Structure 1
Amino acid sequence: MQKILVIDDSRMIRMRVRDMLPSGNVQIIEARDGKEGLDLIHSERPQLIILDFLLPKKSGWEVYQDIQNTPDLQAIPLVLMSGRKEEVTEKISEPFEHFAFVEKPFEQEQLVKAIKEARGKATRKAKATAPEEAAASSQGGEDVASLKAEVAQLKEQVQTMQGQIDQLRKQMNQLVNFIKKKVG
């Protein structure tokens, strides 16, 4: 069952989008504001998000930023809706690389095209940002375990380097103090 989340403060828009989406193996979840929408994104993990840009409680811009700042949410295809494209371009410059945009009012054909575009962008982004993760998830747990081991190794190296940096700072301070005594 594919979950599609529609976040819009207008009941009419949510119903219109619901009517335009294919029926069948689809569960449509609705949110009336950005806060409720974000909660549902985290709890329901939809396969597609259709998000209005102007929302109460938490704006579509804020929801978009939260999605972009959460790596596992970035892979969810996103369609942004707005009555005025300028509202979106004031915050996010074109070309829109992380989502598809559809201007209200729209017809079913425009919505379907935007959904396909959003899925394509999400797929490209997932491949571009995490080729190792994509390989790991498609090849099974062994690759995930090796990636976790590699991350642990890198963290260990960072800790070692931090210790070396701290030691160099200490030596530098000693050298500066020695020079100050000799000059002063």
Structure 2
Amino acid sequence: MASHKILVIDDSNVIRNMVRDMLPKGNFDVLEAKDGVQGLDLIRQERPNLIMLDFLLPRLSGWEVFQQIQANHELQAIPLVLMSGRKEEVTEKLQEPFEYFEFVQKPFDQKELIDAIKSAMAKSKRRPAPVATMATAATGTAPAGDIQALNEKIAKMQTEIDSLKKQMGQILAFIKQKLK
């Protein structure tokens, strides 16, 4: 029986098979998903030991899958390798250096794949445990002070958003006036 579950989320059957073929035989159970929705379902059902995620996917993009993984403290702990044929697509949304996940550019060879997996596993161990989760585990609920502080931040951000919307409206009105 395989000791590690690796989930490969990629719309390309060629990439999914290539990853399967490049991994050492017998050590890995490779799960496959051809789009982001199927990938998220498998992440939640199977709790893989590693996720290999293509950045451009149908139905739910790799970026959206990444965001959902980051929003869940349990899923954040799973080592992650992002894959893309164009690194600039990834760096548009995520700043380098990639602190808690690894990136591998397609096409990659076996050494690059293995190095990316090792690096992703090391990086995931460096991720600090979320403080709110530890407090929640100890008490069974989130501390009221934390919730109140978050609600205050939300209210402040909403005020800023409303102000920016007003400014944008003023700018648009000014531009329309100048174009007449």
Q: If the length of structure 2 is used for normalisation, what is the TM-score? A: 0.73
Larger Rg: 1
Q: Which residue of 1 aligns with 2:28?
A: 26
- Counterpart-to-counterpart distance in 2, 1:152 and 1:114: 37
Q: Is the 2:100–2:126 Cα contact (8 Å) retained in structure 1?
A: no
Partner residue of 1:148 out of 138, 160, 163? 138
The residue matched to 2:115 in structure 1 has which SS? helix
Kindly state the Cα deviation for residue 4 of structure 1 after the two structures are TM-superposed: 0.4
Larger deviation: 16-25 or 64-73? 16-25
- Counterpart-to-counterpart distance in 2, 1:70 and 1:24: 30
Read off the aligned partner of 2:129 and give its amino acid letter: T
Kindly state the Cα deviation for residue 23 of structure 1 after the two structures are TM-superposed: 1.7
- Counterpart-to-counterpart distance in 2, 1:78 and 1:153: 27
Q: Which residue of 2 aligns with 1:129?
A: 129
The residue matched to 1:22 in structure 2 has which SS? coil
- Counterpart-to-counterpart distance in 2, 1:31 and 1:153: 34
Task: Map 1:161-172; keep pairs closer than 5 Å.
Answer: none
Kindly state the Cα deviation for residue 98 of structure 1 after the two structures are TM-superposed: 2.1
Which ranges of structure 1 fall in alignment gaps of 5 or more residues?
137-143, 162-184
Which ranges of structure 2 fall in alignment gaps of 5 or more residues?
149-180
Q: Which residue of 1 aligns with 2:106?
A: 104
- Counterpart-to-counterpart distance in 2, 1:153 and 1:80: 32
- Counterpart-to-counterpart distance in 1, 2:14 and 2:129: 37
1:99/1:26 CA distance change after superposition, 3 Å: same
1:109-142 deviation per Cα after TM superposition (whole angstroms, max 9, x unaligned): 00111001100110000xx234898xx9xxxxxx
Aligned length: 147
Q: Which residue of 1 aligns with 2:96?
A: 94
- Counterpart-to-counterpart distance in 2, 1:65 and 1:100: 15
- Counterpart-to-counterpart distance in 2, 1:158 and 1:78: 29
Task: Map 1:67-78; keep pairs closer than 5 Å.
Answer: 67-78=69-80
1:154/1:65 CA distance change after superposition, 3 Å: closer
- Counterpart-to-counterpart distance in 2, 1:147 and 1:65: 23
1:132/1:108 CA distance change after superposition, 3 Å: same
Q: How many percent identity over aligned positions?
A: 57
The residue matched to 2:82 in structure 1 has which SS? strand
Read off the aligned partner of 1:129 and give its amino acid letter: A
- Counterpart-to-counterpart distance in 2, 1:17 and 1:26: 11
